[in-house]
């Protein structure tokens, strides 16, 4: 076994919301979410101690999920011994079945053209020359879905090595677009690793935004810095720290909080996530504290985006509702028509986006909020 693979398999990794560290060396592995580790228990028991930034996972051998799993959706995300967490109990019968079908569909390799280094037409031509067929999504010229090419094949291309493209899920490209950062603005990415959204914001602003990218985990912060440099995002400052520890003296024009979560929207054929009600409660508590901090760091009259790669209300609508209830912010409706073709799940919170997993998309949640202009910093 390669040393790099052995390190991944034996270590615990921390996943930010909805992005993969796509290195092309794990084509047949899957994750198992672990809610009970000594580090997580110790950290989450103390509010002042930052909870581990994201989902702690270990790499386990790929296990095929038979097609019958679409009807038996509880088998895709197993409850703990108490049976506290079950899809249909949390989501309802019909929604759970749609999500399970999306999990079983698998997911195609997707990538984003890095406008700091290349143009979509240039990348499309280079992919064609490499014998790779690519389809553009309706809502972004930069987002491509590959046909018949896996991550390993893409990672071997010069355009990947040069940082002209970035392998990124389609769903995770939505929050930076909704954020709408502009050149000249100060932007905070609170849970930034491995860097897909950070570098996307840089590209969307033509490299003109001043971006602060926080990542608590040292190894992931190093990966973030590597990707930032590789993508040519020169106006990004990487901070190896928990964003909740930033002094409230700081004030940002826009804030992106792609919060650490259960990863319940990213299950694919062959992967199973296990988490308990206790784990979910701890994660939600962390998400609420992160969102509270995001609001404090945001300038009055300005906007932030909260997102997760989860399909659970507890981590999504209920976290946003708790922030709205405290006052000082209001929901900014997202124009979902601008994201033609994105499969959406039902929600009782008008103006947010709940993306349903399928062969193109991960399950994802996106909400936009604006801080009241008369709120004190």
Burial of 46 by CB count in 10 Å (0-12 exposed, 13-18 middle, 19+ buried)? exposed
Q: Which residues are catalytic?
A: 309
Whether the CB-CB separation of 15 and 256 falls below 8 Å is answered with no
251 CB contacts (<8 Å, ≥6 apart)?
186, 297, 298, 299, 377
Instruction: Pick left, alpha or beta for residue 85 (phi over 0 → left; psi -120 to 50 → alpha; otherwise beta).
Output: beta
Cα separation, 369 vs 175, whole angstroms: 12
71 CB contacts (<8 Å, ≥6 apart)?
97, 100
Cα separation, 141 vs 191, whole angstroms: 26
Whether the CB-CB separation of 149 and 108 falls below 8 Å is answered with no
DSSP states of 310-326: ---GGGTHHHHHHHHHH
Q: Compute the 3-state secondary structure of the chain and give helix, strand, coil in percent, each to the nearest 5.
A: 35, 20, 45
7 CB contacts (<8 Å, ≥6 apart)?
none
Whether the CB-CB separation of 315 and 287 falls below 8 Å is answered with yes
Whether the CB-CB separation of 294 and 100 falls below 8 Å is answered with no
């Amino acid at each position: 076994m390669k040393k790099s693979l052995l390190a991944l398999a034996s270590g615990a990794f921390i996943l930010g919301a909805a992005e993969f560290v796509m290195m092309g060396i794990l084509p047949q592995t899957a994750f198992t979410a672990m809610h009970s580790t000594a580090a997580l228990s110790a950290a989450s028991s103390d509010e002042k101690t930052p909870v581990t930034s994201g989902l702690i996972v270990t790499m386990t051998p790929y296990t095929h999920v038979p097609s019958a799993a679409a009807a038996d959706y509880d088998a895709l995300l197993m409850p703990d011994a108490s049976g506290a967490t079950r899809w249909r109990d949390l989501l309802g019968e019909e929604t759970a079945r749609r999500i399970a079908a999306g999990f079983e569909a698998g997911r195609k390799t997707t990538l984003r053209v890095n406008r700091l280094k290349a143009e979509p037409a240039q990348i499309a031509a280079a992919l064609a020359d490499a014998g790779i067929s690519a389809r553009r999504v309706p809502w972004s010229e930069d987002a491509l879905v590959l046909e018949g090419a896996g991550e390993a094949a893409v990672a071997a291309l010069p355009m990947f090595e040069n940082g002209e493209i970035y392998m990124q899920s389609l769903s995770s490209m939505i929050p930076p677009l909704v954020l709408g950062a502009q050149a000249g603005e100060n932007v905070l990415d609170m849970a930034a690793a491995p860097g897909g959204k950070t570098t996307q914001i840089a590209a969307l602003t033509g490299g003109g935004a001043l971006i602060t990218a926080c990542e608590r985990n040292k190894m992931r912060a190093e990966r973030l810095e590597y990707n930032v440099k590789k993508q040519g995002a020169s106006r990004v400052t990487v901070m190896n720290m928990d964003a909740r520890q930033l002094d409230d003296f700081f004030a940002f024009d826009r804030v992106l909080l792609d919060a650490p979560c259960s990863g319940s929207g990213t299950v694919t054929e062959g992967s199973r996530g296990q988490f308990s009600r206790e784990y979910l409660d701890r994660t939600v508590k962390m998400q609420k504290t992160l969102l509270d901090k995001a609001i404090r760091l945001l300038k009055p009259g300005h906007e932030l985006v909260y997102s997760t790669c989860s399909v659970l209300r507890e981590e999504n609508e209920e976290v946003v509702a708790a922030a709205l209830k405290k006052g000082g912010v209001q929901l900014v409706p997202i124009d979902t028509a601008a994201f033609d073709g994105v499969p959406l799940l039902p929600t009782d919170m008008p103006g947010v986006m709940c993306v349903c997993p399928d062969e193109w998309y991960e399950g994802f949640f996106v909400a936009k909020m604006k801080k009241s202009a008369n709120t004190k910093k």
